[in-house]
Amino acid sequence: MSKHPIVKFDPTVPAKFADWFGPPAVPTAEDRQIHDRILCGLFNNVRPQDFLECLHTQELAYNFWRRLALRCLRDKVIRHANNEKFERLERELLADAERRKQEPRSTLALDKALESWGRHRQPQTRLAIEQEKMATETNKRLAEIDAETNKRLAELQKAKDGPIDEAASFDKWIDAAERIDEELAWWSRTSASRSSFSTSTEPV
């Protein structure tokens, strides 16, 4: 096993390149840290001797960062398609639960509407007891539907957070993934052509 330590990050290196070429075109602070560490590692390996070699080192660092970003983007595209599938199932589950609640709610509402009609046919106390019983049964049924729905929602969330079944949402992500693969292949070819200069550069 190699005993050589990983190159220590030197913040003066990316600062120097940023002063010459401006800040790298990366979207987040985390991406900036990754890019700058790649740049620092390349600088220590290549040891550019002139401005042109510094320019190539800067471009090569961005190229490597871009390839990493594309690989991450490909994974995000697949994850997004997977999440959309489960979010659609969640919406359908909630809509179905709401539909199932309509029947007991409608029955209770009808019972209340008939209450005044039946006042002259039976004592008020009996009506109140029957009304309370109906409300209790309705609330019990609604609670059962909510409990069943929440259980199924929890199961969907667990599946959503688990391993991705790429085949289940294949048609939703394959086109975007292929475009990413094409761009990744282009950046890989560009990286190979731009890195050739470093093989002939002698470290100082």
pLDDT 10s digits, 95-105: 999 998 888 77
Cα–Cα distance measured from residue 173 to residue 125, given in angstroms and rounded to the nearest whole number: 63
In the chain, alpha helices (H): 12-21, 29-46, 51-115, 124-161, 170-195
Read off the pLDDT of each residue in 39-68 and give the average, rounded to a whole number.
Answer: 92
Query: How many residues make up the chain in this entry?
Result: 204
pLDDT tens, position by position, 5-16: 567 889 999 999
What's the mean per-residue pLDDT of the chain?
83
Its pTM stands at: 0.65
- Domain-by-domain residue ranges, the chain? 12-162+170-196
Instruction: Write out pLDDT tens, residues 124-177.
Output: 566 666 777 778 888 888 899 999 999 999 999 999 999 988 888 899 999 999
The amino acid that residue 138 corresponds to is T
